[in-house]
């Protein structure tokens, strides 16, 4: 039943956004009562967090698979390029980045953790599996830095480098991000 609830919640959050979505719509979409929904997820925030956790896990699973077998610097280039595209292609992420970015950043929200920045460990693990040799602390700092840069470009992809153009994204990652990792 949990998968069905999360699927329904994801559709509702994609349609209405996190602020405008309500638990009644999710329960109706899932074909369950509100009390059943509240037993599984006591608050709308807990439900949204579960949906986001699932989406972010899938997002990083795709990037991790892409990085498999690549050396660290090439993994950065390919994952940064794919990640910029995925944030526009995954409906829930695209919706939240466009309309409610504070949910992704954690800035100004009730949460002290950021969905994106909370993923620095995941990025560091992927880079370590790709062969990064720098100390763990440095790798984590670089991973967080790359996520912060990616998030800034997600918010506003047009500038000196057009982050909607995969060729420009790849060149940017190769020139500026890949050299950060050893």
Mean pLDDT (the chain) is 91
The residue range of the domain holding 93 is 52-180
Return the pLDDT at 155.
84
Whether 122 and 60 have beta carbons less than 8 Å apart is answered as: yes
User: Is residue 6 domain-resident?
Assistant: yes
| Backbone phi, psi, residue 71, to 5° | -65, 160
pLDDT in tens, 31-77: 999 999 999 999 999 999 899 989 989 999 999 999 999 999 999 99
Residue 1: band (very low, low, confident or very high) from pLDDT cuts 50, 70, 90: confident
User: Is residue 47 domain-resident?
Assistant: no
User: Is residue 67 domain-resident?
Assistant: yes
CA atoms within 13 A on the CB side of 22: 3
Whether 18 and 100 have beta carbons less than 8 Å apart is answered as: yes
Rounded to whole angstroms, what are the CA distances from 84 to 15, 98, 161, 174? Answer: 22, 14, 13, 14
Average pLDDT of the segment spanning 159-168: 94
pLDDT in tens, 6-26: 999 999 999 999 889 999 999
If asked whether residues 83 and 156 sit together in one domain, one would say yes
Return the pLDDT at 179.
98
Q: How crowded is residue 28: how many other Cβ atoms within 10 Å of its Cβ?
A: 15
The rounded distance, in Å, linking the Cα atoms of 162 and 156 is 9
Whether 46 and 4 have beta carbons less than 8 Å apart is answered as: no
Number of domain units in the chain: 2
The rounded distance, in Å, linking the Cα atoms of 26 and 34 is 8
pLDDT in tens, 66-125: 999 999 999 999 999 999 999 889 999 888 888 888 887 766 554 545 666 678 999 999
């Amino acid at each position: 039943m949990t998968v069905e609830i999360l699927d329904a919640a994801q559709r509702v959050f994609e349609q209405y956004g996190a602020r405008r979505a309500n638990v009644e719509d999710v329960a109706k979409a899932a074909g369950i009562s509100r009390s059943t929904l509240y037993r599984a997820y006591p608050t709308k925030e807990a439900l949204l967090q579960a949906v986001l956790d699932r989406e972010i896990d899938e997002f990083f699973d795709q990037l991790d698979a892409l990085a498999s077998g690549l050396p660290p610097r090439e993994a950065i280039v390919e994952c940064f390029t794919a990640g910029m595209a995925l944030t526009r292609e995954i409906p829930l992420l695209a919706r939240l980045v466009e309309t409610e970015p504070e949910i992704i950043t954690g800035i100004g929200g009730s949460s002290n953790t950021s969905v994106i920045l909370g993923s620095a460990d995941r990025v560091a693990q992927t880079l370590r599996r790709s062969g990064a040799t720098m100390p763990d602390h440095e790798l984590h700092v670089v991973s967080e830095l790359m996520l912060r840069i990616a998030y800034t470009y997600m918010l506003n992809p047009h500038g000196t480098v057009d982050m909607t153009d995969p060729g420009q994204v790849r060149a940017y990652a190769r020139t500026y991000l890949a050299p950060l990792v050893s």
